[in-house]
C-alpha cells in the first residue's frame, strides 16, 4: 500500500481524504465500510458509503419497504459519548427537519440504533456535486442561476435559525428538475448549528468540545478562530465558492492551517493575480469580495440582502457597482467605465 502524501495541499484532497485527515488529526479513525449492509432504525438498509468527515459518515440507503433511496448520516461513535454533542445532534436534526425548500435537502427521520449510534436520514439528491460541475468553469448565466438558488436556500435556513457552517462545493448537489433545469441543493444541514438559543441557552458557539469544525478552505475567519458565529459565516463560505467559480481556483493554497491563517489575516488576492489572463465579470468579483470580507459586519447583512444585490447586478450594473463600491468610490467609478458594463 503506498504511503499517504502528507505534503498534498488540503485543497487538492478528495472529500474522503479531507474527512480522513481531519479525523486522524483528532485521533479518531473513520470506519468507512463498517455499516454497509446493515439495517438501521428497523427500516433503512445501508447500501454504500458516500463520504465522511469529522462529525460522521454519510451513506446511501433505501427504505426496505417503500424502496425510497435516502442518504443516511451516522454520527461518529466517539461523539455519542459527549453529552453536549449528542444533545445538539438530536436537537438540530429535529430543527433541520423543518427545512422545506427546493434548494435544501430535508431531514426525513432521526433515531438511535440498538448499539447506540445516532442516525439521521435525509433526502437523497442525485447529481454531480458543485465540485464536479466546476471542473469546467460555469458560464456567467449558469453561475448566477446557481448562486441565486444557493442564496434562496440559505435565506430559508437562516430564517428558521440554522447556520450551515460547512458550506462548500462538496456539500452542494446540482440536480436536474422535471423540466430539465438545474437545481442547486444544499446538503448536510443536519450538522449545522443553531443561531438562536435553545432551552439551555446554548446555540451561539461552534461546539462545546472546542473543535474547529468545517473545511478551512471555505471557513470564515471567526469560525477558524473558534469565535461565536452567525449566519454571515455561511455568506463568507459562499463568497469563496463564487470566487472559485470565477477564478477556477480558491483564493489561497497550502495546508489546512496555512489556508485558515490566510483567511484570518489576508484579503483575497484579485482574480487577475490568481488566474492571469482569465476573463472575469468585474461586478461578480466585487460581489464575491463583499461576501468574503474578513469582518462579518462588512459582509452582506443577510442572504436576502445578497439576493437583492445580485438581482441589482442583473438589472442595473452601474447602480450595483456604486452600491458594492460605496466604501471604495474610485474603484466603483473605474468599474462603471469598464467596457464589460457598457455592453449590457
Please say if 166 is a catalytic residue: yes
pLDDT computed for residue 29 by the predictor: 45
pLDDT computed for residue 213 by the predictor: 55
What's the angle, vertex CA 235, arms to CA 333 and CA 90, rounded to 5? 170
Residues of the chain with CATH 3.30.200.20: 10-123
For 319-343, write each residue's pLDDT tens digit: 998 888 764 444 444 544 455 444 4
Spatial distance between the Cα atoms of 56 and 43, rounded to a whole number of angstroms: 20
Q: Which of 155, 166, 188, 281 is catalytic?
A: 166
Burial 273-298 (b: 16+ CB within 10 A, else e): ebbeeeebbbbbbbbbbbbbbbebee
Residues of the chain with CATH 1.10.510.10: 130-342
Residue 69 backbone dihedrals phi, psi, to 5 degrees: -80, 135
For 177-196, write each residue's pLDDT tens digit: 889 899 999 987 755 665 54
Burial 79-118 (b: 16+ CB within 10 A, else e): bbebeebbebbebbbebbbebebebbbebbbbbeeeeebb
pLDDT band at 79 (very low <50, low <70, confident <90, very high): confident
Instruction: Give this prediction's pTM.
Output: 0.78
pLDDT computed for residue 325 by the predictor: 78
Spatial distance between the Cα atoms of 40 and 120, rounded to a whole number of angstroms: 10
pLDDT computed for residue 7 by the predictor: 55
Residue-averaged pLDDT of the chain:
82
Q: Which one is predicted more confidently, 62 or 24? A: 62
CATH architecture for residues 130-342:
Orthogonal Bundle (1.10)
Q: Which one is predicted more confidently, 332 or 82? A: 82
Spatial distance between the Cα atoms of 232 and 170, rounded to a whole number of angstroms: 20
CATH architecture for residues 10-123:
2-Layer Sandwich (3.30)
For 204-241, write each residue's pLDDT tens digit: 333 333 444 568 899 999 999 989 999 999 999 999 99
Nearest to 252 by CA among 238, 271, 231, 225: 271
Amino acid at each position: 500500500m503506498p504511503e499517504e502524501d502528507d505534503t498534498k495541499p488540503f485543497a487538492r484532497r478528495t472529500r474522503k481524504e479531507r474527512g480522513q485527515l481531519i479525523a486522524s488529526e483528532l485521533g479518531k479513525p473513520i470506519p468507512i465500510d463498517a455499516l454497509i449492509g446493515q439495517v438501521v432504525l428497523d427500516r433503512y438498509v445501508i447500501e454504500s458509503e458516500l463520504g465522511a468527515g469529522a462529525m460522521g459518515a454519510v451513506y446511501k440507503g433505501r427504505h426496505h419497504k417503500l424502496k425510497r433511496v435516502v442518504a443516511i448520516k451516522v454520527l461518529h461513535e466517539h461523539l455519542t459519548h459527549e453529552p453536549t454533542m449528542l444533545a445538539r445532534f438530536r436537537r438540530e436534526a429535529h430543527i433541520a427537519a423543518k427545512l422545506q425548500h427546493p434548494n435544501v435537502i430535508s431531514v426525513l427521520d432521526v433515531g438511535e440504533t440498538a448499539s447506540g449510534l445516532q442516525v439521521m436520514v435525509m433526502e437523497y439528491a442525485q447529481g454531480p456535486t458543485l465540485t464536479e460541475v466546476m471542473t469546467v468553469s460555469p458560464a456567467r448565466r449558469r453561475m448566477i442561476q446557481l448562486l441565486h438558488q444557493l442564496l434562496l436556500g440559505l435565506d430559508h435556513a437562516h430564517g428558521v435559525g440554522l447556520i450551515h457552517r460547512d458550506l462548500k462545493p462538496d456539500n452542494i448537489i446540482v440536480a436536474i428538475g422535471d423540466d430539465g433545469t438545474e437545481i442547486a441543493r444544499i446538503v448536510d444541514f443536519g450538522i449545522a448549528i443553531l443561531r438562536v438559543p435553545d432551552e439551555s441557552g446554548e446555540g451561539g458557539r461552534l461546539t462545546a468540545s472546542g473543535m474547529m469544525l468545517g473545511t478551512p478552505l471555505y471557513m470564515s475567519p471567526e469560525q477558524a478562530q473558534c469565535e461565536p458565529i452567525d449566519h454571515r459565516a455561511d455568506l463568507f463560505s459562499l463568497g469563496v465558492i463564487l470566487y472559485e467559480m470565477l477564478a477556477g481556483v480558491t483564493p489561497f493554497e497550502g495546508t489546512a492551517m496555512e489556508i485558515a491563517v490566510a483567511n484570518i489575516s489576508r484579503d483575497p488576492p484579485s482574480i487577475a493575480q490568481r488566474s492571469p489572463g482569465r476573463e472575469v465579470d468585474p461586478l461578480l468579483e466585487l460581489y464575491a469580495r463583499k461576501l468574503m470580507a474578513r469582518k462579518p459586519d462588512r459582509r452582506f447583512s443577510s442572504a436576502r440582502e445578497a439576493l437583492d444585490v445580485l438581482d441589482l447586478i442583473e438589472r442595473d450594473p452601474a447602480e450595483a457597482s456604486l452600491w458594492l463600491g460605496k466604501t471604495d468610490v474610485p474603484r466603483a467609478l473605474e468599474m462603471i467605465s469598464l467596457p464589460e458594463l457598457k455592453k449590457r
